[in-house]
Structure 1
Amino acid sequence: METSLKALIADHAGDAPAIGAPGRTWLSYGALRTLGDEVATALHGMGIDASDRVAIVLPNGPEMATAFATVAQAATTAPLNPAYREDEYVFYLEDLNAKALLVEGGYDGPAFAAAQRLGMAIIRLSVPEGAAAGYFTLSSDLSGSASRAPAADDVALILHTSGTTSRPKIVPLLQSNVAASAQHIRDSLDLTPEDCCMNVMPLFHIHGLIAAVSASLASGASIFCTPGFNALNFFAMMEEANPTWYTAVPTMHQAILTRASRNRDVIDAARLRFLRSSSASLPAQVMLELEKTFGAPVIEGYGMTEAAHQMASNPLPPRAQKPGAVGVEAGPKVRIAHELENHLIEGTGEVVISGPNVTPGYESNPDANAKSFFEADGARWFRTGDQGAFDEDGYLHLTGRLKEIINRGGEKISPLEVDGVLLDHADIAQVVTFALPHSKLGEEVAAAVVLKEGSTATERDIRDFAAERMADFKVPRKVIIMDEIPKGATGKMQRIGLAEKLGLVEKA
């Protein structure tokens, strides 16, 4: 098994296409390897080597993909969300202890302002006119001398956890972690040089960086890099890219389905081998509708930052893709542990993982590491924070994030279960069930829903529907009908803190 990003792309045919983009010529694997050497030479000439951290703030697209893939061959990459405000950049750049910030040539936005406030060096990325997708040159006022290339146990990628309830934690992922995960995904999806992934995922997030980019590079396949997800031009992009697969989060898949009927010709002409979903649980109804609409299997994967993305995956045909399951073990060992005690159990409990893709631990956070890692049965296990159980076929079913399980006067309710029931309502397009603070019960069940176009369903209709299908204590006491449900930066719906966000919590 390869243990570095550089080794992943070393042996692919030099003239095979690697990186594409709308209206651009393709960058070949030979040119990508050359670019990797040029970037390493440029960074070494700036005094940057394997242990130095380069924060990357670039728009989604081919240069963001190749910047990650090439900078990580020489230094530690730290991609950041281009939508952050200046103060957010100050926090993340300081927290990361970044040596330099990599931005586009003419960029003078909030990340640049934050770097100036911190006295941080700037590296400029320029795209020569007429260059193939993803090709760029680097320039900087930095000068120095460095030569150390990364080894398997050097950090390739640093990301922060989303930090919905506390300070974000720093997750360092080694060269070996990233390479292992890329190869796990390649193997579980049976990717070959004939495959083409259309990337719509943000490339400051583990899902896009590893599942779309790194796994494709590990297999000698090609990646068509869009500027990001846009339901309005998704099918035009698909027509140009002619992909064999794409990967997205459930909210993106739902938006794609709303526009599918008017793009039937594009779907019929597509050569999709499968569709992939990850980063949040895909409702069973959405999986079935996607499969019916595209005539291709839907492969749901289960991943998280600390695992360099993938932990489990629904298998390809002829094995079954089970709606409501996140699949079978797909890379690391996946087991169930006692939620409070450090040992493995049978049945329902906390999902834990162990394998070559798992981070060695959070940076400078001994408390979080003590809570998240334990030794048992001759292995080191990471606690995912998810509750779940395996069925008799070895498929993992999640019941929710442990922090998101609603505790209504001692009755534990899985928000995913309530979501699943409500999505069977003919008028509901999207739903997210969440905890509403309650003075006597501690928490009550609430749900935010988006109705299908033209629907006149009321809160009472929806509650009556739920009451016929589940125990009374699980029925949402409050249903909020909305035009759109608030989402995080990567398109995931956020359950934690939603009651506050929607103004449903009385101020003390």
Structure 2
Amino acid sequence: MQGNSVSVSQLLDMAVQGSPDKEAIYDLTRRLTYGELQEEVNRLASALVSLGIKEGDRVGVSLPNWHETVQLFFAIAKIGAILVPFNPKYRLHELQHILGNSGAKVVFVSQEFEKTGFESGEPNHLQLITVRYEKEGCLSFTDLLAGSNDVIPPQPAIDPLHDTFCILYTSGTTGVPKGAMVTHRSVVQSGMTIAKSLQCVSDDVFIILAPMFHIFGMAVNLMSAVYCQSKMVLLEKYKPKDALKLIEQEKVTIHHAVPSMLNLELKDPDFDSYDLSSLRAGITGAATCPPETIKGVREKMGMNLCISYGITETGTVTITQYDDKESNILETVGKAVEGVEVKIVNDRRETLPPGETGEIACRGFGVMKEYYQSPEQTRQVLDPEGWYYTGDLGTMDEDGYIRFVGRKKELIIRGGYNIYPQEIEGLLQNHPKVLESAIVGLPDATLGEIVCAAVKLKPNVQATQEEIIDYLKTYIASYKLPGKVVFVEELPTTASGKIQKVKLKDELMNRLEAG
């Protein structure tokens, strides 16, 4: 089966044909087989058609990792409509932009939505459908399904290569969210690529911790599991203890997670009390994973952790091999997956030789079609030959392995020296008192920028600025040392677990100005 010829809806059809009675989903409230999932997807597809949703219409889904979320993703795809998934924690101005820009006709929401003050009908006469709660004047998901029938609506012919499966709005860490138009082929082939890389089979059990409204949860987790006809364990809200408990309870074998999740699990005070012997393999990505975390996962969780690289606009770009040598796994994000090309370029977008640091550019099956209704922003990152310029810095060696250096915009220039935050964050990860940290550049009249470390300590420990700086002195040049260390209760993160550096920078500047 070729990923470039399979739509999202066909992927589920194939799973149902192969394993109709196999458990597909457990989300702590229900267990569904693939056959039952398909039946409910068909009912939901009929219900969407009865609401007037047609091919090409946009449908918003703002839900946690619930079984209803999975059903909606496949039902929307089945009728040729376009999914617009987004974080239930978004607030009013974010919602108004996403729903207004996408022109969604219907949006499925959880009770979290009530906190936003958003009213049904605005914009575009938008219809709200409530999931797992009731609201006067709104149709509920339960009533929608109850009023539906088993008649499968006519299914449009989908071209997986060119037809849009979803519009994914970037997290907005650097401005107004942009809607990346992602094809059926992108998410399906990303899922297949990950499954093949990890040698996944139908007996595997996936735990899906990353939110499915994010590319990592959707393509790397959901589509990969359905391709394998595997069972999926969905966790609505991530807590390390809950994840560890479910791994033990459901005998999870495949554990994909962003680095911050893996780090928190390893540092859980009760870690040693859980039986994690079922774990076999997993992927980490979406942020830099420190070598100590990788080693910890491989040694203490006993699983084969592969490192991947990709962003919303590109899908899966690189991955380390299942049996790769340790240095590649600890130091790189792997090499280009089949169907993808990668190059490192300078500011004039000229290809650089191996070993030189530049911007990571890629083209292939995962690259978005464009930013929805944003031709100028599309032109800035996507050239006529199909190369997408990521804004990430990296190097490539002679064997094609990519080392991720950091975000172009996060680069700190102190007195003419380039400082990459990821290097310092990786070192702080090993400090015995540090739970999490983030490095940002703050303006300085003399040096241009200084390094500021935001540090979240482990529970019930204390540390001083001098202690942190003295620790770093033994590892890095003095110009890279933080000029300030600020201890914080929490670090602001996106739903996918990435630290929001722009927001953090603003918070630190306000705090330091207030004295």
Q: TM-score normalized by structure 2?
A: 0.88
Match of 1:208 in 2: 217
Q: In structure 2, do the counterparts of structure 1 residues 426 and 58 end up closer, same or farther at CA, with 3 Å as the change threshold? A: closer
- Does structure 2 retain, via aligned residues, the 8 Å contact 1:386–1:402? yes
Q: In structure 2, give the amino acid aligned to 1:470.
A: I
Q: How far 1:427 sits from its partner (Å)?
A: 2.7
Report the Cα distance in structure 2 between the residues aligned to 1:6 and 1:163, rounded to whole angstroms: 29
Please state whether the residue corresponding to 1:114 is helix, strand or coil.
coil
Deviations 1:241-294 (CA, angstroms, capped at 9, x unpaired): 2111122222211211122x62434335x3111132221111111111222211
Percent identity of paired positions between Structure 1 and Structure 2: 28
Match of 2:114 in 1: 109
Please state whether the residue corresponding to 2:368 is helix, strand or coil.
coil
Matching of residue 312 in structure 1 with residue 321 in structure 2: no
Please state whether the residue corresponding to 2:427 is helix, strand or coil.
helix
Q: How far 1:319 sits from its partner (Å)?
A: 4.8
Matching of residue 486 in structure 1 with residue 492 in structure 2: yes
Report the Cα distance in structure 1 between the residues aligned to 2:178 and 2:197, rounded to whole angstroms: 29
- Structure 1, 163-172 or 398-407: larger mean CA deviation: 163-172
Q: In structure 2, give the amino acid aligned to 1:157.
A: C
Q: How far 1:506 sits from its partner (Å)?
A: 4.7
Q: TM-score normalized by structure 1?
A: 0.89
State the aligned residue count: 490
Match of 1:67 in 2: 72
1:7 to 10, 28, 46: 10
Match of 1:30 in 2: 35
Please state whether the residue corresponding to 1:232 is helix, strand or coil.
helix
Match of 1:165 in 2: 174
1:291 to 272, 283, 298: 298
Structure 2 portions without partners, runs of 5+: 134-140
Report the Cα distance in structure 2 between the residues aligned to 1:366 and 1:304, rounded to whole angstroms: 20
Q: In structure 2, give the amino acid aligned to 1:262.
A: D
2:419 to 406, 409, 413: 413
Q: In structure 2, do the counterparts of structure 1 residues 197 and 304 end up closer, same or farther at CA, with 3 Å as the change threshold? A: same
Report the Cα distance in structure 2 between the residues aligned to 1:400 and 1:123, rounded to whole angstroms: 40
Report the Cα distance in structure 2 between the residues aligned to 1:126 and 1:23, rounded to whole angstroms: 11
Matching of residue 463 in structure 1 with residue 469 in structure 2: yes
Q: In structure 2, do the counterparts of structure 1 residues 172 and 285 end up closer, same or farther at CA, with 3 Å as the change threshold? A: same
Report the Cα distance in structure 2 between the residues aligned to 1:388 and 1:252, rounded to whole angstroms: 24
Q: How far 1:418 sits from its partner (Å)?
A: 1.4
Structure 1 residues 94-493: aligned runs within 5 Å: 94-103=100-109, 109-110=114-115, 113-118=118-123, 119-124=125-130, 138=144, 148=156, 150-152=158-160, 153-259=162-268, 262-268=270-276, 270-308=277-315, 310-317=316-323, 319-320=325-326, 322-346=329-353, 347-375=356-384, 379-493=385-499
Report the Cα distance in structure 2 between the residues aligned to 1:330 and 1:136, rounded to whole angstroms: 41
Please state whether the residue corresponding to 1:480 is helix, strand or coil.
strand
- Does structure 2 retain, via aligned residues, the 8 Å contact 1:231–1:252? yes
Structure 1 portions without partners, runs of 5+: 128-134
Please state whether the residue corresponding to 2:122 is helix, strand or coil.
helix
Q: How far 1:393 sits from its partner (Å)?
A: 4.2
Report the Cα distance in structure 2 between the residues aligned to 1:301 and 1:276, rounded to whole angstroms: 7
Matching of residue 496 in structure 1 with residue 502 in structure 2: yes
Deviations 1:218-261 (CA, angstroms, capped at 9, x unpaired): 221121112221123222222222111122222211211122x6
Q: How far 1:94 sits from its partner (Å)?
A: 0.7
Report the Cα distance in structure 2 between the residues aligned to 1:70 and 1:191, rounded to whole angstroms: 25
Q: How far 1:504 sits from its partner (Å)?
A: 4.8
Please state whether the residue corresponding to 1:383 is helix, strand or coil.
strand
Q: In structure 2, give the amino acid aligned to 1:342.
A: R
Please state whether the residue corresponding to 1:216 is helix, strand or coil.
helix
Report the Cα distance in structure 2 between the residues aligned to 1:360 and 1:208, rounded to whole angstroms: 20
RMSD: 2.7
Report the Cα distance in structure 2 between the residues aligned to 1:431 and 1:471, rounded to whole angstroms: 19
Q: In structure 2, do the counterparts of structure 1 residues 338 and 87 end up closer, same or farther at CA, with 3 Å as the change threshold? A: closer
Deviations 1:48-76 (CA, angstroms, capped at 9, x unpaired): 12200000122322221222233222211
Q: In structure 2, give the amino acid aligned to 1:401.
A: R
2:48 to 40, 43, 47: 43
- Does structure 2 retain, via aligned residues, the 8 Å contact 1:434–1:495? yes
